[in-house]
């Protein structure tokens, strides 16, 4: 693959699902080597150190075949996704009683 293909993830923001049902957020900082990126998870008060993540890790899926990593062009797009994800679902009432005439 060409270097430009690998560079496309640089600067993107992400969410990554954890097995316990929580998720982490961060940004892809830059390419470290072919197929490996420096990433930084978001910290509450101070920036966390850089970590390495491979393309293989980023393509991992759960047992139910859901992708663990999601990528976004901006923080705003990512925040909209998180807002939707964290929003409580609206209960639906389904009547099981057949209406009478």
What pLDDT score does 54 carry? 93
Stretches in the chain below the pLDDT threshold 70: 1-7
Question: Mind listing the domains of the chain with CATH numbers?
Answer: 3-86 (2.30.30)
What pLDDT score does 66 carry? 87
Span 4-25, pLDDT tens digits: 555 688 999 999 998 888 899 9
What pLDDT score does 1 carry? 47
Q: Which two tokens stand for residue 20?
A: 């316990």
Reported as type and span, the H/E element at residue 79 is helix 75-86
Phi-psi region of 19 (alpha: psi -120 to 50; beta: other; left: phi over 0): alpha
């Amino acid at each position: 693959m060409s270097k430009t293909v690998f560079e496309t993830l640089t600067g993107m923001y992400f969410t990554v699902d954890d097995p316990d049902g929580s998720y982490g957020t961060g940004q892809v900082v830059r390419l470290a080597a072919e197929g490996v990126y420096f990433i930084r998870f978001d910290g509450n008060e101070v920036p966390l150190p850089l970590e390495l993540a491979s393309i293989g890790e980023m393509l991992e899926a759960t047992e139910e075949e859901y992708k663990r990593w999601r990528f976004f062009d901006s923080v705003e797009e990512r925040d909209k996704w998180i807002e939707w994800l964290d929003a409580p679902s609206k209960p639906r009432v389904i009547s099981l009683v057949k209406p009478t005439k």
